[in-house]
Every structure is written in C-alpha cells, then in structure tokens.
Structure 1
Amino acid sequence: MIRSIVFLSLIFPFLYKYSFVSSNQYEQIPIILRFISGNYLVNDWFLNTASKFGPRYFFSVYMAGLNQITNLPVIFFFHFVVTVFLISQATYKLSDSIAKDHLSSILTVIVILFGQTFSLGGNILVTGDFTVTQLSLAFSLLAISCLFRDKILLSSLLYIISAYFHPLIGFESFFIFNTSYFVYLTVTGLKKNIPDLLKRGILPFFIICIPLIYLYGALPADNIPGVLKIQIPAMMRGRHHYLPTAYPLADYLMFFLFLAISLLGFIKFKRYWPGKIKILTYSAVAICTALIILGSFSLYFYPLYLPVVMQPFRLTIYVYWLLMTGLTTVIFNGIKNNKLPSYLAIIPVFLPVAGKITGSGKAGLAAVFLGFLFILFYNRTGKTALTALFLIYFSLWRYHGKFNFSNYYQFRDQETEIEEYIRGNTPADAVFLVPPDLEKFRLVAGRAIVADWKSFPFHPGDYYQWYKRMCLLGNISKCPADKISFEEIILGYQNHSISSITALARLYKADYIVSPVFYRSLPAVFNNRYYLYKIN
C-alpha cells in the first residue's frame, strides 16, 4: 500500500501540472521572504503587519528555517508532494476502513486527488499549487482517519501539527471529530473508553497547544469601530469564503446534487457501510451543519465575531471528503464483488469532472472515451492496467495546464512586463501606489506597495487600516464595508484625477504611481497597458 501511495504522490505533480505560484503565493511568499531577511521590503506596510504574530507566523518561521537548507521552489515542491501524500494516506485509510480492498482504495484516492471538490465557501481540497491551508487540511484529514481507526494519540499529534500551521483548521477539525468520536463511544455503549479519549487525545492536544493559545490570548486589544470587525473580513474582503449569498449558484447546485447522490447512496447501500463509520460520519455532518447555522445567524441576525470568523461554510469540505470517499469505495468494491451493477461506476468516474465535461475540447472527448472504457473493462482487466487507465483518464482533464517549478508567474503579460521593468530600473527601497488588483506586483517587482486587495492582514486593527486604504485607493468617500465591492474599488482607482492620485501617493509617501490611466501632465517613465509615473 505505502509504495503505491508514495509512487502516486511523486507522479501527481506532473500529471496535475503543479505550479510554484498561482494566487495565494503572492501574499504568502513575500511574508516568508520577510522572515528570511528582516530587510526585505522594509517600507511595505502589509509585510510590517504580517511580521507580527498571527496565523501565518509558525508556517513562515518554518519555511524561513528550511530556506537555510535549500531554496523556496524546492521547499514548496517538496511540501506539495507531502500534502498529496498525506491526503492520499488519509483517504486510503478511510476507504480501507469501509472495504478492505486495495484496488477500491487506490481508485478512491485517485478520485479525491483529481476530482472536483464539491463544497461551499471557496475551499478546494487539492489544487496545483502548495499552500499552508492545504498542508494543514491534509494533516487534519490524516488525523480524522487515525481517529476513525481508534489511534487516538497519533490523531492528537497530527491535529497539533495542523493547529500550529493553521489554527482555524486544526482547532475546528479537532473539535468536530473528537466530539463525533465522543458521540460514537456514547451511543455504542463504549463509555468506558471516554477516559482514554480524554487522556490520550484531548489532554495532549491542549497541553502542547498552550503556547499557541497563550499567544492568541495575549494579542493587543482591537481598535476598530463596532460591526466593521465583522463586515470588513466577511462582507468586503472575504465574501467568497464567508457570505453564503455571494457564493455562485453553480456551487450550490453541484454541492446539493452531490449531497443528494451521496445520501441516496448511504441509504441504498447502507449494508455495505460499517456501523462505526456511519455514526462518525453522521455526527460530523450534524456538527458541521450546526456550526453553519450558528455562523449564518451571527452574520445576518445577531453579530457574534467568533462564529463568523470560523468560516463555517468551509467545513463542507470535510463533508465532501467523507461522503465522496465512502460512496466511491462502496461503488468500486461492490462492482468488483458483483454486488452492484457496473453502470454505477458512472458516479465516481464522471461526477468528479462534471464541471469540465462541456467545452473540454479534444482532450476532454478523449477522456470521456477512456472513462467509458474504464467502466466497461472494470472487472475484465488487471489491477495495474485498470489503475493506469484511471490515471490517464483524469490526467487528460489537466492536459492544458502548465507545469511551473520555480517561476513567479506562469505566463508573461503586460502586468508582469511592467513589474520586471520596475525590478530592474527603480530603487530597491521605493514605494509604489498600484492598482488594487495587481496582486503579483509585490513579489514580481520586488518593491513595497501602499496596499492591494489580495494581501489582507490578520489583526482587526490592521485590517481596519487596510479597509481605509482600499477606500482611498477606490476614491470612495462613503465606503460601507458591507456593500463595497472589489470591482468598485478597481473602477474607482481608474477614476482618480491627477490631483487626487498624486495627493494619495504623497499621503502614503509613495515614490511612484502605476495606473492604467494616462495622465497627460505626469511624466511616464514606462508604459504598455499600464503607465509608470515618477512622483517628484
């Protein structure tokens, strides 16, 4: 088993088309570079806020330490492989708990790694880039699978790692699944094992997390007006994570379609599900649902900070992982043992790529053909050939991607062109006023900026300052945090007059302005789609 998981983890980046940077890295890598060198972009306001203790702190320290051994592209690629390995191991173990069949478990792992994530709140289980969020999530998934197999202490240790890398994921998942395990012990008459859960699971977690809890408790008091503490992160910057009314309709349709199919499978094939897995899964889904209801109530009716910032809708990724792993395992194993009809393989084969089938081009058509071939020959060919066919099938859906091991961007465009010019032709300590949508600028140009939309501080007092900078960048005098949008701020930046944009640059001591607008009376140092202006 372990050799199969290791092999799959090693080839996955090349089949899935790994990329060193995608989007989140434009926020994360500069923070790491600041931890590597305290002199990196010392004039950058966001990096000065991110250097303080917060959710990114331990991960950034860890990455900076590894940089003493090798460079960031190697470190990121290695941790991407580790993340894939952890998710694969967690999925295999959970699948094996349902049906002890190697082929079914490996095929289930492939579905989870390559398939579309059906969840709400903008969470994706596997992407082509490495982020600390997915590393922490991977540790939490392995912790869950260990807990389901009664390996309480190992589960607790994995949760500790998850919590230090990403406190929100680690603590939330620990609470949900240890509570589920407690429910399982209670309803199955195993209450005598509850002290063992406390002694080997809950107690070690909280003891080792005491420094983390203390550091968060010691954070300075917020200096932010009333409801803005909730509105800025939830309704302005992170509505794609927090605000259910902002989620795309397609996300709801696909999630509830998946949920309906999975629950129908739970009912229809209930005799194939071990009772323990059913109880643990039902309990976890119920707790996630309760937290989602509480978070929604706190967001729309009675403002409570903690239930909102927990981002409860993102917990649906755990619901997806549990149900997809279970359903896929039951179907593949049932077909193999001639207990279920082979046409049911359509669910794990085509449902995970449902969003890609239309408009997929020649590669997609070839993939569809291979998908039906896989279903047809499922019980008529060897395990190795079948697994290879399944890998080729899913890889074709990633055919048009581009593998990127070390570049700061995948494709050169007018934004990266001006950023490269700035890196080579402006003082290293210069500060730039840039459009809020130029998320690559800080990293690619290697220069400090006033602010951008992507890079969002953790501390409420700091994100209040970010909010004020966004309102000024967007040239918006009345700036309600619960209504203002990213698009309005971009448009507002383009509507600045010469006097207002130069006044803004001087307010934040910027040396240069980058804008898509041509200002006749300002000397342009460089221009393509964007103009670079030097402020005297």
Structure 2
Amino acid sequence: MFKRRAVALIACTSILFPRIVLADVSTIGVVLLTRIVALPLVLFALYFFLNRKYYYSYILLGISVLIHPITAFYGIIIIFFSTIFTIKENVAKRLAYMLGIFFVISSPIWIWAILQSPDGGNFFSADKQWVEILRIRSSHHIFPFSWKPKIYLNSILFVLIFILGIKFKPQQQIFNLVLLWIIIIAILCLIGVVFTELFPVGIVLKLQLLRSFLFFAYIAIIFFANYIYNMLNKWGFIKSANSIWIIILAIMLLSLVRGKNIANFSIYNAQNKYWLDVQKWAKNNTDIDAKFIVPLDSEGFRVQSQRTIFTDYKDGTLGNFNPKFAKEWFHRIKLLGYGENIPAWRAVYNMKPEHFHKIVDEYYNNQDNIYIVLPIRFILYPFDRVYANSEYVVFKYDENYGEEK
C-alpha cells in the first residue's frame, strides 16, 4: 500500500498487540479455526486487487469460500464493488470472466449448499424463537446493543489511528480505493446493526456483518504503521536500515512482556489433561457406536474420543445458521440443566439421575452403550462407575439405577 517494507514490518509486529473489535473479533486469532485459515487468503485477495492483479484476487476468494464462507463473503463484497467502481475498460466482460473463475473454484460449496444443506429457514424472515436463542448463544457476535463498552472503545481506537495515519496518505489512486473499501465496510456494519437489532432479517443474522470491521482494523494498522515510520524518520530516529530493525525488535519485546501472563498457551492440544484422558479412555474402551452425555460447558470431547455426544454449549454455534438446529440444541441444553438463571458452567450441578433418565427415554430409547461423564464430585452417583481420574468420572448408564448411594 505504501511501497515500504519497513511499514509492512511495523504493521505486522503491531498486530502482536491483539484487540477485540466489533462482533467480539480479535485482530489476531488465538485458536486455529477455519476462519483464521481463510482470513489471510482474503487479505491477499485485497492485496492483489490493490496491485491490479484482479484474477488472482478472485482465485483466492474462490479458495477462501471453500474454507470459511462467511469470512470470504466480506472480501467478495468489497472486491466485487471495487471491480465495478474502479475498472474502467471492459468491466462487464472482465467481471464475467473473474466471477466465472470464482464460481468454478468455489463450486463444491455451492453444490453442497443446494443438494445437502438442511432447511435453514426463510432467507428474509427471522423466527422469533430463533432470534431469542441467538441472543442467548451468540449475542457477542451478532447483536451490537448487547456489547460491552470496551468493544466500542477498542473499535474507536482504530478509527482514531486511521485518521491520524491519513496525515501521510498513499498515492491518490490507492487512497481512493482504500476509502471505497472503508465505505463498503461501513455500509455492511450499518446493515448489520439495523437488520439485527431493529428489524431482524434471516440472512443478515447469519452473515454477522459487523465482523467485517476487522478488515478496517487492519487498514488502520497499516496507515498507523506508516504514520509511525514517517514521524520517526522526521525526528531523525531512522538513519539506516538497522534502525528500523531495532524499532521492530522493541515492539516485539513489548508484545512479549504484555503476553507473558497468557496462561496455558501451547501449539499443542490445550485441553485439560484429565479431560483428554477421559476422551482417550472412551476411544480405547467403548464401542464405536457408544453415546456420551457430557457436561454442558465441556468442549472438544468428540475430537480425541471419536464418539458422539448428546450436545455441548459450543454446538450452539451451528444454530447461527439453522433455526431448526438452534431450537433442537436449545431443547437439549435445557435437558442438561441450563436455565434462565443457570449459566452453562453451573448446569451440570443441577443434574440429578432422573434428568439422565429423561434424556435417554426421549432420545436413545433405553439403548445400551450410553455413558455419562461428570465432574469427580459426582463419584457417588447411582450408576455403574467404569472410569475415574482426578477430575472426572465416567458412568455407564443403566435404566434400573436411580437413587444415589
């Protein structure tokens, strides 16, 4: 954007200071989710568009759709309208070619959506119960009126550093294109507010449009990095190529000092050791068709155990895109002890043997191979104990048990 490697290096190191912005999105991902994989592809698509390599942009967008369609959507909208407003010659023909390439690459996801995707509700309508469930499960991503002031303060900070960075603008043509991107992002965010909080619309709820603000945050960081570079140069701090490396090293050291209190960070599996032990036991000691009922606030049991579970709180994420799924999930978490004044982490402590009987009667028709995983404090539960460690106990369900020992 500014044609200076030093600016790019300052911007990249500045991202080491993560901030949570609109839609509860961090400027740097801390968990390797599919959207984290898709995000760099979309950013490179914007980079190629900025450098007039339009076909590369659409190729990367097509690939990113296969990885995380929602993250790709923001890039698609930005680049599509940028194509219309910035390409002057044969725009219709060139756009048709580029869209053709995009749809060919991303065709597997569209074929799946048409043939396999379950009925997720009307495109425009937003079922009242579904909206209420979304407010419970995903208000931090979707409903801006529920967000804490810190989210807005962080986001305003990026607006301010962008305004500061305008002091040293890039070439006018590039600056105009960047302003167009910002206008598009602002419109997406405005639509995201109006059609979630005021007049809920199904497709807007699913697309979580305020997440697009993250792209503005990255633009602001780049502009601010250029501002820092120019001011340091003006004050005489940058006298040689080595000077910028000293500055970058200082920024990295500051980020390390700031992050030293981040507990349990690991590139390996970050789950609790005893929770992993339960999963490994399940994989090695139960049939492949075994069903597990796990605490509502637990995560990742399916990964290492390779066994199905009744549900957990994280499953509710899928309800963001499918009202029927959301309603079924909400019914299940209530069976697991969730209530209006009972958060997910406390739900398990409200569970009694009769609650498990109800789940089995309703969903499993008293089948065999049903297991219950509970915190160790439930070790005296009136079911057959088959495994225990320092933090968890596993019971094999038996319909004939029902009173605590």
> Aligned partners of 1:229 and 1:397: how far apart in 2?
40
Summarize the Cα distance change of 1:259–1:435 in structure 2 as closer, same or farther, 3 Å threshold: same
Partner of 1:305: 202
> Aligned partners of 1:110 and 1:181: how far apart in 2?
31
CA contact (8 A) 1:298 1:308 kept: yes
> Aligned partners of 1:326 and 1:132: how far apart in 2?
28
Out of 159, 174, 181, the residue aligned to residue 277 of structure 1 is 174
SS in 2 for 1:238: helix
Question: Can you list the C-alpha shifts for 1:250-290, whole angstroms capped at 9, x where unaligned?
Answer: 12112112312322432xx05x3322232222222222222
The size of the alignment, in residue pairs, is: 382
Partner of 2:336: 473
Partner of 1:330: 227
Summarize the Cα distance change of 1:143–1:511 in structure 2 as closer, same or farther, 3 Å threshold: same
What is the Cα-based RMSD across aligned positions, in Å?
A: 3.1
Partner of 2:360: 505
Partner of 2:401: none
Partner of 1:515: 374
Summarize the Cα distance change of 1:386–1:287 in structure 2 as closer, same or farther, 3 Å threshold: closer
What is the correspondence of 1:167-206 to structure 2 with a 5 Å cutoff?
167-183=69-85, 185=86, 191-192=88-89, 194-195=91-92, 197-206=94-103
Residue 184 of structure 2 aligns with an amino acid whose one-letter code is I
What is the correspondence of 1:131-142 to structure 2 with a 5 Å cutoff?
131-142=33-44
Summarize the Cα distance change of 1:212–1:415 in structure 2 as closer, same or farther, 3 Å threshold: closer
Question: Can you list the C-alpha shifts for 1:9-61, whole angstroms capped at 9, x where unaligned?
Answer: xxxxxxxxxxxxxxxxxxxxxxxxxxxxxxxxxxxxxxxxxxxxxxxxxxxxx
The runs of 5 or more residues in structure 2 that have no matched partner are 399-405
CA contact (8 A) 1:104 1:333 kept: no
Summarize the Cα distance change of 1:164–1:196 in structure 2 as closer, same or farther, 3 Å threshold: same
CA contact (8 A) 2:119 2:322 kept: no
Matched, 1:221 2:101: no
Matched, 1:249 2:146: no
Deviation at 1:383, TM superposition (A): 4.5
Matched, 1:461 2:317: no
> Aligned partners of 1:222 and 1:303: how far apart in 2?
15
SS in 2 for 1:508: helix
> Aligned partners of 1:261 and 1:313: how far apart in 2?
19
What is the correspondence of 1:319-398 to structure 2 with a 5 Å cutoff?
319-336=216-233, 338=234, 341=235, 378-379=238-239, 381-398=242-259
SS in 2 for 1:533: strand
Question: Can you list the C-alpha shifts for 1:72-117, whole angstroms capped at 9, x where unaligned?
Answer: xxxxxxxxxxxxxxxxxxxxxxxxx32x3222222222223x1314
Q: Report which stretch shifted further, 136-145 or 218-227.
A: 218-227
CA contact (8 A) 2:38 2:64 kept: yes
SS in 2 for 1:436: coil
Q: Which structure carries more relative contact order (alpha carbon 8 Å, separation 6+)? A: 1
Residue 370 of structure 2 aligns with an amino acid whose one-letter code is D
Matched, 1:143 2:143: no
Summarize the Cα distance change of 1:423–1:278 in structure 2 as closer, same or farther, 3 Å threshold: same
Matched, 1:409 2:279: no
CA contact (8 A) 2:164 2:224 kept: no
Partner of 1:26: none
SS in 2 for 1:467: helix
Q: Report which stretch shifted further, 217-226 or 173-182.
A: 217-226
Question: Can you list the C-alpha shifts for 1:133-185, whole angstroms capped at 9, x where unaligned?
Answer: 112111010000111111111111111111121122223311123313433x3
> Aligned partners of 1:522 and 1:260: how far apart in 2?
60
Summarize the Cα distance change of 1:208–1:530 in structure 2 as closer, same or farther, 3 Å threshold: closer
Residue 363 of structure 2 aligns with an amino acid whose one-letter code is Y
Summarize the Cα distance change of 1:333–1:104 in structure 2 as closer, same or farther, 3 Å threshold: farther
Question: Can you list the C-alpha shifts for 1:375-420, whole angstroms capped at 9, x where unaligned?
Answer: xx65475454554444444344444566745x433653x5345444
Summarize the Cα distance change of 1:174–1:262 in structure 2 as closer, same or farther, 3 Å threshold: same
CA contact (8 A) 1:136 1:165 kept: yes
> Aligned partners of 1:242 and 1:138: how far apart in 2?
23
Question: Can you list the C-alpha shifts for 1:235-259, whole angstroms capped at 9, x where unaligned?
Answer: 2322221121333321211211231
> Aligned partners of 1:506 and 1:127: how far apart in 2?
41
Summarize the Cα distance change of 1:330–1:489 in structure 2 as closer, same or farther, 3 Å threshold: closer
Deviation at 1:450, TM superposition (A): 0.7
> Aligned partners of 2:349 and 2:138: how far apart in 1?
23
Matched, 1:449 2:309: yes
> Aligned partners of 1:440 and 1:378: how far apart in 2?
49
**Could you state the TM-score of these two structures normalised by the residue count of structure 2?**
0.82
**Could you state the TM-score of these two structures normalised by the residue count of structure 1?**
0.63
CA contact (8 A) 1:439 1:454 kept: yes
Residue 335 of structure 2 aligns with an amino acid whose one-letter code is L
Matched, 1:535 2:390: no
Residue 292 of structure 2 aligns with an amino acid whose one-letter code is F
SS in 1 for 2:314: coil
Partner of 1:289: 186
SS in 2 for 1:192: coil
Residue 200 of structure 2 aligns with an amino acid whose one-letter code is P
Residue 359 of structure 2 aligns with an amino acid whose one-letter code is L
> Aligned partners of 1:475 and 1:385: how far apart in 2?
53
> Aligned partners of 1:316 and 1:179: how far apart in 2?
17
Residue 25 of structure 2 aligns with an amino acid whose one-letter code is N
Residue 122 of structure 1 aligns with an amino acid whose one-letter code is D
Deviation at 1:459, TM superposition (A): 4.2
